[in-house]
Amino acid sequence: MLRRTQQLEPTAEELQAAANLEYTAQVEGLQLDVGESQLCAIVIARKIEWLVTGDKRAIAALERLLAFRHEIADLTGKLVCLEQLVRRLLADGSGAVMRAAICGEPAVDKALSLCFSCTSATMAPESWMEGLTSYVNAVRSTAPTLMAAC
């Protein structure tokens, strides 16, 4: 997967679009960080297929920004939360390897640490997918329009 990624640098226009999103978010009391606003501007301007983020606050904020910023509609069905990505990787690969990687750095993401039972010595692979699906559904409830179906 990493071989297919590329570094993105926002253009001046994308930085301005990001600043506009951040300003509206601040006015409305929504939590949208600089990084997420820049990613949104890039995804919208370049018509990129998905935006993957682990920031659940940003996902919820973007859904609420739909009411104020018409360009956010271009993100419809494009937001992928971290748990969706991990769920897909889990379905395609080795669960034990995935668990070892996640539990090796449990402070990186608390939701993933909980889903993979990082504090428990026993492994329950069947519960990993259930936990991830539960988190995805919770995030989807905050952003039903913008969340991707995957």
Least confident of 33-47, 70-84, 117-131: 117-131
In angstroms, rounded to a whole number, what is the distance separating the alpha carbons of residues 10 and 129?
35
Q: Based on C-alpha coordinates, what's the Rg of the chain?
A: 16
Residue 1 has pLDDT above 90, yes or no: no
In angstroms, rounded to a whole number, what is the distance separating the alpha carbons of residues 35 and 18?
9
> Given this model, what pLDDT does residue 33 score?
94
> Given this model, what pLDDT does residue 2 score?
64
